[in-house]
Amino acid sequence: MKLIAELDNLADAFAAELAGVASAAEAESLRNVRLGRKGDLAALMNRLPELPAEERPAFGKAANAVKERLNRLLEDRLAAFRAEAEDASLSRFDPTLPGRMPERGSLHPITLVMEEICGILNNLGFETVYGPEVETDFHNFGALNFPDDHPARDMQDTLFIAEGIVMRTHTSPMQVRAMLERKKPPVAVIAPGKVYRRDYDLTHSPMFHQIEGLLVDENISLAHLRGVLTHFLREFFGADVKLRFRPSFFPFTEPSVEVDMSCLICRGSGRREDGKGGEDGCRVCKGTGWLEILGAGMVDPAVFAAVGFDPACAGFAFGLGVERVAMLKYGIDDLRMFFENDLRFLGQFVK
């Protein structure tokens, strides 16, 4: 039984070698050399014809038993390597370390300012309405009493989509839409949203935000406009803010006013902290003590006529630039900060 003896030798050698391997990879290569299809055990089994016929079944049985046993030894060893690797990785895991918090997003400062403004005006009874950013010439200009040759219709200012279709240049078309929808007074709406012009520099962006206000009812006067704007600006900027109206011109209001508020930095004095006044005074208001904040006026009878309201109606309208208001509130001097999406900037407004 020479072959049987070699079988035992092979099994002993394999067991000794397996005890000496240092890694799962080494164990695998040992499996190939000893137990693989071209390995030592296979070579031994190929010598079966050397045996007398009556011994062959016993040898075949013994060889298969050895193969099975050695494979089991090898699997145990591989399992031991896997368990070791798992222990090692667990020992590197420190359950006492603090977790990593996911970063929290925040609303954009323009959104925050719009929400705050709308909130104040909603409390006065104005309803928030929204409308399309692509407008007809009728809603954006015609019904708002812009003559056909008004410079705002020029290619320089307006982005045209097609003949008679524009990107709205202001939120005022929402006055027209609100009155057409309500059909008669009273109308009290505010319309926040994006507007578009061909313009880009430190203080102008081709897309920016406005909030439009419109109140139409009986016996409305400039005094009501002044009351609403005073309340709004004091709620938003502080109780000591003063207002002044300057005569101005807009096609859709008559009379029209430019509304200034007292400077937030010098409190309307126009002077610097060291007392210097005039042109050398406060940098923010350029020594005047006043900041332009919005445009407004009494709705022009021509607008009422265009939407089918009795031209004897009375109402006021106002429009303000949200970026302008946000810059004043937060002391930001470059409009482009709002549109560059720098998280270090945007993260400062988290509420």
Q: Alpha-carbon distance 226 to 104, whole Å?
A: 40
Q: Minimum distance from CB of 238 to Zn ion (Å)?
A: 14
The first and second tokens of residue 190, run together, are 């505010």
Q: What is d(CA 238, CA 262) in angstroms, rounded to the nearest whole number? A: 11
Q: Which is nearer to Zn ion, 257 or 263 (CB)?
A: 263
**Interface with Zn ion by CB under 5 A: which range of 159-167, 231-239, 263-271, 328-336?**
263-271
Rounded Cα gap, residues 168 and 159, in angstroms: 8
Tell me whether residue 285 or residue 328 sits nearer to Zn ion (CB atom).
285
Least distance to Zn ion, CB of residue 176, Å: 37
* The only residue of 282, 293, 299, 327 in contact with Zn ion, by rule CB under 5 A: 282
The one-letter code for the residue type at 232 is: F
Q: Residue from 78, 265, 305, 332 that binds Zn ion (CB under 5 A)?
A: 265
Residue from 7, 35, 263, 325 binding Zn ion (CB under 5 A)? 263
Asked if 293 touches Zn ion (CB under 5 A), the answer is no
Count of Cβ atoms closer than 10 Å to residue 123 Cβ = 11
Neighbours of 178 (CB within 10 A): 21
Round to whole Å and give the CA distance between 215 and 190.
Answer: 9
266 binds Zn ion (CB under 5 A): yes
Should residue 117 be labelled a site residue for Zn ion when binding is judged by CB under 5 A? no
Q: How far is the CB of 271 from Zn ion (least distance, A)?
A: 8
CB contact at 8 A, 130 and 121? no
Stretch that binds Zn ion, among 217-225, 261-269, 294-302, 324-332 (CB under 5 A): 261-269
Quick one: tokens of 286?
């350029």
Query: Which residues contribute to the site for Zn ion (CB under 5 A)?
Result: 263, 265-266, 282, 284-285
